[in-house]
Amino acid sequence: MIAKQVFYSGSVQGVGFRYSVKQIAKGFSIIGWVKNLADSRVEMQIAGEPEEVAEFLSAITQSELRAHIRETSENALTTLPDVRSFEIRHG
């Protein structure tokens, strides 16, 4: 399994971004979470098999959310997110 931290910037808050990401996640064998940040970006941490993670990230950028994303940055994580499923986090 691999784990990644992904930041999305653009018009990604107040448009149902987190909810849409959670809905997309239902189609993949991944775990993780997504939350809004105070600086108007969205942070996501995900883990799964490399192919599942890649396909999930691709599905996000190919969805209707692409119109809201101006920039994406990814970092590899050395530890897995502390969750059993995919969830929306607050604050």
From 18, 41, 70, 89, active-site residue: 18
CA-CA-CA-CA torsion for 74, 32, 26, 7, nearest 10 degrees? -30
User: Minimal CA–CA distance to 59: which of 22, 32, 15, 86?
Assistant: 22
From 36, 66, 70, 89, active-site residue: 36
In the residue annotation, 89 being an active-site residue is answered as no
Give the helix/strand (H/E) hosting 56. Answer: helix 50-62
In the residue annotation, 36 being an active-site residue is answered as yes
**Residues known to be catalytic:** 18, 36
